Structure 1
Amino acid sequence: MGLYDTARLFGFEVESSDNLRFIPLAVRFNLDRFGLRISLEQWQMLPYDDRVLLARFPIDDEAGLEKNFDLALAEMLKTYANAVPEQVERDTDPVWAHADAVPETVIRQSSLCGVSSPSLSKWVELERFQRYALAKLSRNTDKANHDFLPAMREFGLTE
């Protein structure tokens, strides 16, 4: 599978990403997949067109993603931030990859946002990338994430 025609953004991200000032979930997904981490400051050092390019990379594991994402990111960071992506341990069994249970963090984040958590039947119907997004947005269980409720609405999980 080749690159998407445009940056892969959820509707709720278009406003909150502030014209790709913040790292979109598609890029975060690939960072997690390759076991890489970059800072927001490093992301913002990249030219806008390079940020768009990184957001166009596929998000399907089954698509046989070419190793170009990590190579492109490394080259961009070297060129524009004089840095390299930090290597981190990959989660080989992430909670979002399982459709058989709604993650506890998603349930807690739903409560913090004042909405019901997704039912198991709704969780199963979500695309893997949607489950990833909700799991990623629910990491902090101490306060409500400003994008979590818009994501729930976009995915048809709440009014």
Structure 2
Amino acid sequence: MYKRFAIEGDVHGSLDLVPLAVRRKLDLAGLKLSLAGWQALSRAERLALCQLPVDTDEDIAVYAEVLRGFAARAGVALSPLAGAPVRRADWDLAGVRARLSARLGPGGAPDDDALGRLTEEERYAIYKLADPARGPEKLRALLGELGLLRDDGGDGRPPG
């Protein structure tokens, strides 16, 4: 079973948009799939891509092979991710802490105990939504959903 975040709304019912859980899997596989490409896949294929595990290097290799097969059947182009390779360490406790501190200020991020209780999928979602290029609304909503919301004035910036 994959993590379904409430902040994603009906994404999981319709699968018209790429869920955060699949974005993590695509990042780990080092592949980019456009929204149009995602929508060209059958619903059964999209659901399979949500459910397939990526816990080990072998799982990731199988995931990439299955995705390539689905894409080939649908005539969808896949491309490698631009930039540095994505690693699980990017959203480990230290990575999430650093990104949240940069985004919310040193006092705005949840403590290490709270962050340490999160699953990998939850840490990934925080890491992605704490990207400085994104607005703070979804990050704040996710932190609230996960019970981690800090009192920072409501705008994603540190108090003061």
TM-score normalized with structure 2 length = 0.74
Give structure 1 stretches of 5+ with no counterpart. none
- 1:129 aligned to 121, 132, 135, which one? 121
C-alpha distance in structure 2 between counterparts of 1:66 and 1:39, whole Å: 19
- Mapped partners of 2:132, 2:85: distance in 1: 19
Residue identity (%): 22
Deviation of 1:83 (Å): 2.9
The AA in structure 2 aligned to 1:72 is V
- For structure 2, which runs of at least 5 residues remain unmatched after alignment? 151-160
2:4 aligned with 1:10 = yes
| CA positional deviation for 1:154 | 2.5
2:69 equivalent in structure 1: 75
Between structures 1 and 2, the one with greater helix share = 2
69, 82, 103: which one aligns with 2:97: 103
Structure 1 residues 24 and 79: CA distance shift in structure 2, 3 A:
same
What is the aligned residue count?
146
Pick closer, same or farther for the CA change 1:20–1:34 going to 2, 3 Å.
Answer: same
Question: Is the contact made by 1:77 and 1:83 (CA closer than 8 Å) also made in structure 2?
Answer: yes
Q: Which residue of 2 aligns with 1:153?
A: 144
1:24, distance to aligned residue in structure 2 (A): 1.1
Give the drift of 1:101.
Answer: 6.0
Is contact 1:59–1:129 with CA below 8 Å preserved after alignment?
no
Equivalent position SS for 1:86: strand
Aligned to 1:34: 29
**1:52 counterpart = 2:42:** no
| RMSD over equivalenced CA pairs, Å | 2.8
TM-score (norm 1): 0.75
